[in-house]
């Protein structure tokens, strides 16, 4: 009887020992998991630091971009004001060179008019007027102004303005300019005044 009880006790003790080992294993695993979680938790702040640095860097870049934009905007505004002022000044003085070139022609006219009453030789006066006229035409030519040829030319709506139509004196003059009432001019090949003409029909 004593032997049987001791065997039962031995089995119970072994069972208890096995249960304790299982519990210790579970406890060890849980503690291991906790330590891993702790390690992971301790790693989290290290991950946040680069994010904060990147955010600060982006803020710096944004500040620099805003500064550049403000500087460029101010420079453009100054440039626009400066060019507008220069344009206004240019418009005021644009005709200055033309007027300066015309002054000698006006001087010639003044001299001719002063001597016209005293002059007895009309041919000399006429010659002087012709010289002034040629001088003025040369001046216009230098500035790119050209007279539009009209008389006895084919009527061209791009160059001529028909004031009236009359019967053509000959068959050849039909559709051509018979007479020019007012001369037309081009400036650098652009029509600035159309020739006013009489057209044969």
- Nearest-angstrom CA–CA distance, 110 and 128: 12
- Nearest-angstrom CA–CA distance, 55 and 193: 69
DSSP summary character for residue 170: S
Domains of the chain: 145-201 (2.30.22.10)
Counting residues of the chain whose pLDDT is more than 70, the rounded percentage is 75
For the whole model, what pTM was predicted?
0.51
Confidence of residue 102 (pLDDT cuts 50, 70, 90): confident
Mean of pLDDT values over 78-86:
93
- pLDDT value at position 25? 58
Mean of pLDDT values over 90-110:
82
* Dihedral sign of CA atoms 144, 149, 154, 160 in order: positive
CA nearest 161: which of 148, 172, 170? 148
* Dihedral sign of CA atoms 167, 169, 173, 179 in order: negative
- Nearest-angstrom CA–CA distance, 183 and 197: 8
- Nearest-angstrom CA–CA distance, 89 and 176: 46
Tokens describing residue 201: 């029909």
Tokens describing residue 118: 């005293």
User: Does the pLDDT value for residue 14 go beyond 70?
Assistant: no
- Nearest-angstrom CA–CA distance, 195 and 144: 17
CA nearest 184: which of 166, 163, 169, 170? 163
């Amino acid at each position: 009887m004593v032997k049987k009880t001791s065997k039962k006790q031995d089995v119970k003790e072994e069972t208890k020992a096995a249960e304790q080992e299982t519990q210790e294993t579970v406890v060890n695993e849980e503690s291991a998991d906790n330590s891993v979680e702790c390690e992971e938790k301790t790693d989290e702040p290290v991950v946040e630091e680069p994010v904060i640095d990147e955010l600060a860097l982006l803020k710096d870049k944004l500040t620099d971009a805003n500064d550049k934009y403000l500087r460029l905007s101010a420079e453009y505004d100054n440039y626009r004001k400066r060019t507008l002022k220069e344009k206004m000044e240019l418009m005021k003085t644009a005709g200055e060179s033309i007027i300066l070139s015309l002054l000698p022609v006006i001087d010639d006219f003044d001299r001719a008019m002063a001597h016209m009453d005293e002059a007895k030789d009309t041919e000399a006066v006429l010659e002087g007027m012709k010289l002034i006229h040629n001088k003025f035409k040369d001046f216009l030519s230098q500035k790119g102004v050209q007279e539009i040829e009209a008389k006895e030319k084919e009527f061209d709506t791009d160059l001529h303005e028909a004031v009236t139509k009359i019967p053509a004196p000959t068959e050849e003059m039909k559709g051509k300019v018979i007479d020019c009432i007012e001369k037309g001019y081009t400036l650098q090949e652009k029509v600035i005044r159309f020739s006013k003409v009489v057209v044969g029909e």
